[in-house]
Structure 1
Amino acid sequence: MEAEKTPQIEHGHRQDNTDGASATVVYPPPLRLAIIALTCSLSGFLSGLDQTILATAIPQITNDFHTLNGIAWWTSSYLLTSATFQLVFGRCNTLFPVRYVYITANAFFALGSIICAAAPNSIALIAGRAIAGIGVAGIMSGNVLIIAASAPLERRASLTGMMFAFLGAASVVGPFVGGALTDRASWRWCFGINVPLSAIIILSTALFIQTPRDPAIKELSFAQKLAAFDIPGTTLLTASFFCLIFALQLGGSTTWKNTRVIALFILFGALFIAFIAWHFSSKGGSRLAIDNYNVWLTSVYAGCISGGMFIPITYMPVWFQAVRGASAFQSGVMIAPLIVSFVVMSIISGISTELIGYYNPPMIFGALLAAIGSGLLTTLMPWTSHPSWIGFQVLYGLGVGAGVPPPMLVIQTVLEKNDVPMGVAIVSLSQMLWSSVVVAIAQPIFETKLRSNVVKVLPDLDLERLSNIGARDLAQFYPVDELSKLIPAYSDAILKVFFITAALGCLAFPCALAVKWQPMKKRRNETVVVSSHNVHSVE
C-alpha cells in the first residue's frame, strides 16, 4: 500500500494519512488491556464450560423431562451451530464493528442460556442450546479479533496463550461444575450462571473495548455492506457445512447406513458444489476464500491439534474407569496431568513466542510432542505404572498446549488486516469441523474393536449386555476369571482410538514446517503508541 493511502488509527479512529508519514496506532494502557484480556478470557471460559457442563447433569435432566429422547442433541445442537456460524460471523466482523458483533454474540449466548435454564421440555432445551451455540461462534472469533485490536502484534502471543488456557481448563472442569450445581442446587443453574457473567462481559465490552475499522468499509452504506456480505454464497457454504456436521453427529450416534445420514452427505456435496459454482461465476459475490497457502496449512494444523485432543479427553477417563477401576471423580483427577500441562504450556507458548518473535517454533515443537505423547498413550497396558501414564499425559498435554495458540497468530501475521476476520473464522471452523469428524470416527472404531476383542477371548459373552453395562461397572457384573480377559480387551479397544490422535499429530508436523517464517513485529509504516489515559470509543 502506498504511503499516502496508509490509514492512521488513534483511540478507535482511523484517518487517511495524506502526508506520507507512517501510520500511528494507539493501544490501551496496561490496566485497560488487562481488563480487556480478562473479559475475553472469561468469555472463552464460559464457551468452553458450556461444551462439557452437561456431562454429569444429563441423568437428572432425563428424570425431570421423563424422556431419553434428545440426549445426544443437547450437546450436538450446541456444537453444530457454533461450528456452522463461524463464517457468518467472519463476514460480520469484516463489515461491521467487531465490538458490536461481539456484544451481539454474547447476547445470543445469554439468550440461549436463559431458554435452557427455563426449558419446560427437551425440545426447548435443544433450541436454547442451538441459540447459545450461535453466540459461541461469534465469541470464539471475536476474542481473537479484540485482542488483535488491543495490543501490537508482537505482544499478542501471551494474551492469546492465556485465553486458550482458560478455554481448555473450562472444558475439563465443566463436568465437575455441572455435577456440583446439579447435586447442590438444580441442573438449570448450569445455564443460569452464564447470564450474570455474560452481562458483565457485555458491559465490559461496551466500556473498555475499542475496535477501529478501515475507513473504506466504514463509509459503505448498509446496502453496500449487504452486497459485500455475499448472502447467497455465505448461505450456501454455511448450509453445506451444517449438513456435513449434522451427518457426522447423526452418523456417530446412530449408524452410517441411516438414510438421513446418507441424504445429508449428498446434500452437503450438492450445496458445496453450488457454492463453488457461485463463487467462481462472474456474478458471484465477493471472494470468500483467502488466497494464501499459509491460511490453509494453518487450518489443517489447527484442526489436527484441536481435533486430536478430543480423543484423550474423552477416552482417558473411560480407560481409567474400565481398566483401572477408578470412580468417575477419580478418573477426573487422574486426567489432571494432561490438563494442567496443557494450561501451563499454553501460557508458556505465548510468552516464548513473544520472546522469539516467531510463531513457528511452538507450532513445530507442539506437533512433535503431541505426536510422541499420543503415540506413547497407545502403549498403555492395564498394569502400566503411575509414573508412565502420568508422564505420557504430560508429554501430550505439553504438545497441544504449545500448538493450540499459534494458529491465530499466524493469521494475524500473514494476512492484511481486512482479511484477518475471515482467516480467523476459517481456522475456527477447521478446529470445530475436525473435532466433529474425529469424534464421529473414534466411537465406531472403539465399539468395533471391543466387540472383536471380546469375541476372541470370551466367545460366549453377551455383547449386548456388555454395551449396556457401562465402563465402570464391569467388576460388579463379571466374575474374576472373565474379568481378567475382559479388561485387557477393553484396554486394547480404547487405546486403538489413540492412533487417530497420533496420526493427526504426525500430519500437523509437516504443516507446521511448511508455514511461512514471518516475524511477529509491527507492520511497515506503523508506529505503535500505548495510550496513557482512557478514551471513549466511537465504534
Structure 2
Amino acid sequence: MNSHEETATVPKSEPIKGHTTHSDNIDASREEERGSEYPKPFILGLVMVNLCIATFLVGLDQTIVATAAPKITKSFNALGDIAWWTSAYLLTSSTMQLAYGRLYTLFPTKHVYNTAIIVFAIGSLICTTAPKSVALIVGRAIAGCGAAGIFSGSVLILAASCPLEKRASYTGLLFMSLGISAIVGPFIGGALADRATWRWCFGINLPICAIIVLSTCLLVHTPADEKTRKMTWREKVEEFDLPGTILLTASLVCIILALQLGGSQYPWSSGRVVALFVVASVIFLVFLSMQIWLPKHRSFSSTIIGNRNVAIAATYSGFISGGMFVIITYLPIWFQAVKGANALRSGVMTAPLIIAFIVMPILSGALTQGLGYYNPAMILGATLSAIGAGLLGTLTTTSLSSRWIGFQVLYGLGAGAGVPPPMLVVQTVLTPNTIPMGVSLVNLTQMLWSSIVVAIAQTVFINKLEEGIFVALPGFDAKAISKSFAAQLDTIYSSEQLRAVLPAYSNAVTKTFFITTALSCAALLLMGGLQWKSMKAKTS
C-alpha cells in the first residue's frame, strides 16, 4: 500500500509520458481553484437542486419504460420491440461518453450541458409523439445521445461551483438522485400508463428540461479554458480528433450491441453476434494503430494514459458498477421465481438494497470530506460489496426475510460507498483541462463493464438453470423452460415438479451473485495501487 503523500508544489511543465504519480500541475490547478469565484451558498444550493433534477431524469428514463411496456406494446402491436425501447437509450448513452468528454474539453461546460439537455428533450418529444414503434426507438436513441452528456456535465458543473475539498458530499447527492430514480421509475411509469397515457412517461421530461436549461443559464458560470477560448473553430475540430472519435465510438457501438443481443435475442454463436464482435475488434485495431502512428492526434493525452490513478479509478468503477447491475437484474428474478412474487412485489422487496444505496453516498461523502481522502470510502465500498454479494449468494428456497433483507442492506451500503469516489479521483489527480475526458472515461467504463458483466451473468444463469432442471426432472425440456420467464412457475410445472425445480432456480440466480463477489474482491485488490492524494486545500 502506498504511503500517504501530500502534493508538492512544482513548476508547470509538460508531464513526462508514462509517469504515474502525476503531481505535475496539480498544485497550480489547486491555486486556480482557490482563485475561482465560487457561487454563494444559496446559489450553490439552487445549482445542486438543478443538477439533481437533471440526474434524476437521466436515471428515470432508464427504468420508467419497464412498467409502461405493456401499454406501449398494445398501442403499436410490437411485442418484439420491447427490448429496443430500453436498449436504444442505453446504447447511445454509453457510446457517446467520449464524444462529450471532448466537447466539454473544448467548449464552456454550461453550453455543452444545455445542448445535451436540449437533445434529450428532442428525443423525449419524438417518443411522446411517436406514431410507430420505429419512431419510439429513434426517439429513445436520440434521448440517450443527450443523456450521455448530462451526468458528466453535472459533475463538471459541480466542479466549477465549489472547491475540491467540499465536493464529496455534493457528489453523493448526485448519486442519491440516481438511486431514487431507480426506485420511483417503475412506479411513475405504471401510474402514468394506467391513469393517463404512456406518452406522458416521456412528455413529462419536456417542461422539466425547459426549467433546467433556463436555470443553468441564470445560475451557472463555467467559462472556457484560456487556451481553448483562443482556438479557432478549425483548431477545435482538429483537436476534437473526429476520425479517432468516430472509430472508437463505432467500435463501442458494435461491442455493446453484441453484448445486448448475444444470449438473449440470438445465441452467442450466431453469425450476427460473432460478426459484431469481429467488426468491433477490427475497428478498434485501426483506432489503436492511429493512436500509435499518429501521436499528434491521440484521443487521450499522455497525462491521462500515463496516470495509473485514473486507470485504477476507472477499472474500480467498472467492477463495482458491473457487479451492482448483476444484483439489480437477478435479485428480482429470485424473488419472482423462488418466493412467488409478482413484478411489482419483487420491486418492493428489493427496496432495502436501493434505500441503502441512496443513503450511503451521503454518509461516505461526509466521511471522505472529513478525512480529505477518497481511499477509505473505496476500500469500505469494495469490502461491504464483496461480503454482501457473497452472503446473497448463500440464499436458498427456505431463506427467511431477515436474511435477504439484511444481506441487501449490507450490499447496498457497499455499492453506495464505492460508486461515487472514482469521480473524485479524476478531479483530484488531473488538471482542469483533462478532467472532462477523465470523467467521461469513468462513465464509459461503468457502462461498458455493466454490459459485459450482465452478459456473463446471463450465460451463467441459463447454464446453471438447465443443469439444475435436467437433474431435478430428467427428460424435461430444460432448454425451452430455462428461456421462459421466471414468474408464475406454477403454470409451467405441477406442484410436485415445482418443489423439485425451485432449488434449481434459486441456485442458478445465486450463482450469478458470486460474479459480483469476485468483482468486488478485484476492486479491493486494485486499491493497493491507488495513491493517497489529499483533496483538502493546502494551507501555507
TM-score by length of 2: 0.91
What residue ranges of structure 1 are gaps of 5+ in the alignment? 6-16, 526-539
Please state if 1:71 is matched with 2:86. Answer: no
Say whether the 8 Å CA contact 1:252–1:439 is kept in structure 2.
no
Can you give the 5+ residue segments of structure 2 that lack an aligned partner in the other structure? 1-8, 14-27
Shift of 1:143: 0.8
* 1:421 aligned residue (436, 439, 442): 436
Range 184-193 or range 395-404, more displaced: 184-193
Q: Is the 8 A contact 1:233 1:284 kept in 2?
A: no
CA–CA distance in structure 2, aligned partners of residues 407 and 171 of structure 1: 21
C-alpha change, 1:246 and 1:465, in structure 2 (3 Å) is closer
For 2:249 and 2:289, the matched residues in 1 are separated by 15
Cα deviations by residue, 1:424-448 (Å, 9 ceiling, x for unpaired): 0100000000011112122222112
CA distance in 1, matches of 2:58, 2:51: 11
Match of 2:137 among 126, 134, 141: 126
Partner residue, 1:300: 315
Query: Which whole-Å deviations, capped at 9, do the CAs of 1:226-263 have from their partners, x for residues lacking one?
Result: 11111111111111111111111121422111212111
The match for 2:24 is none
Equivalent-residue separation in structure 1 for 2:484 and 2:281 (angstroms): 39
Q: CA RMSD in A?
A: 2.0
How far off is 1:176 after superposition?
Answer: 1.5
Mapping of residues 80-479 of structure 1, within 5 Å: 80-253=91-264, 254-282=266-294, 284-289=296-301, 290=304, 291-463=306-478, 466-467=481-482, 470-479=485-494
- Residues in 2 aligned to 1:491 and 1:73: alpha-carbon distance in whole angstroms: 28
Q: Secondary structure in 1 aligned to 2:223?
A: coil
Report the Cα offset of residue 385 of structure 1.
Answer: 1.4
State the SS of the aligned residue for 2:224.
coil
Deviations 1:475-513 (A, max 9, x none): 244332111111111111111111111111111101223
**Secondary structure of the corresponding residue to residue 28 of structure 1:** coil
> C-alpha distance in 2, partners of 1:114/1:481?
51
Contact 2:466 2:482 in 1 (8 A): no
- For residues 266 and 4 of structure 1, the distance between their equivalents in structure 2, rounded to whole angstroms, comes to 44
CA drift at 1:69: 2.7
The change in CA–CA distance for 1:138 and 1:511 in structure 2 (over 3 A counts) is same
Secondary structure in 1 aligned to 2:451?
Answer: helix
- Counterparts of 1:468 and 1:256, CA distance in 2: 14
Say if 1:524 and 1:122 are closer, same or farther in 2 by CA, change over 3 A. farther
In 2, are the aligned partners of 1:3 and 1:22 still within 8 Å (CA)? no
SS in 2 for 1:213: coil
Describe the shift of the 1:487–1:22 C-alpha distance in structure 2 as closer, same or farther (beyond 3 A): closer
> CA offsets, 1:26-59, max 9 Å, x none?
1000111011111111111110111111111112
Question: C-alpha displacement at 1:468, in angstroms?
Answer: 6.6
Residue type matched to 1:145 in 2? L
Amino acid at match of 1:272: F
Instruction: Tell me the distance in 2 between the aligned counterparts of 1:350 and 1:410.
Output: 13
Equivalent residue, structure 2, for 1:59: 70
The 8 Å contact of residues 244 and 264 in structure 1, kept in 2 or not, is answered as yes
Paired letter, 1:303: G
Aligned residues: 512
**Aligned in 2, Cα 1:456/1:355: closer, same or farther, shift over 3 Å?**
same
Q: Which one-letter code corresponds to 1:175 in the other structure?
A: P
- Secondary structure of the residue aligned to 2:37 is strand
Deviations 1:172-202 (A, max 9, x none): 3211211111111111111111111111111
Normalised to the residue count of structure 1, the TM-score between the two structures is 0.91
**More deviation in 514-523 or 365-374?**
514-523
Deviates more, 1:444-453 or 1:82-91: 444-453
